[in-house]
A = this chain, B = another copy of it.
Amino acid sequence: MSINPYWPNPNANSTTPAPAKTLVQATYDAMREDILSGLLGPGTKLRADKLKDRYDVGASTLREALNLLVGEALVASEGQKGFRVTPMSEADFQDIVRVRKQLETQALRESIAHGDDDWEAGLVGAFHRLTKIEERLQEDPSGLSGEWEVRNRGFHAALIAACPSRWLHYFISILFHQSERYRRISLSRSHTNGGSAKRDVHAEHEAIFNAAIDRNADLACELTEQHIDRTLSFLTDKGFFQHLQDMENR
Contacts and interface: CB of A to CB of B under 8 A. Distances in A.
Interface of A: 2-4, 6-7, 19-20, 22, 24, 59-60, 63-64, 67-68, 70-73, 76-80, 86, 92, 95-96, 98-99, 102, 106, 164-168, 170-171, 175
Copies of this protein, total = 2
A70 B1 CA distance: 14
Contact of A4 (B20, B70, B166, B168): B70
Contacts of A167: 95-96, 99, 175
A64 B68 CA distance: 8
Nearest to A171: B171
Contact of A73 (B6, B24, B96, B168): B6
Contact of A7 (B86, B96, B106, B175): B86
A73 B7 contact: yes
A22 B166 contact: no
Given A63-B64, A71-B71, A106-B102, A77 B2 contact: yes
Nearest to A98: B165
29 contacts: A2-B76, A2-B78, A2-B79, A3-B70, A3-B77, A4-B77, A6-B73, A7-B73, A7-B86, A20-B79, A20-B80, A22-B79, A22-B80, A59-B60, A60-B63, A60-B64, A63-B64, A64-B64, A64-B67, A68-B70, A70-B71, A71-B72, A73-B170, A95-B166, A96-B167, A98-B165, A102-B102, A167-B175, A171-B171
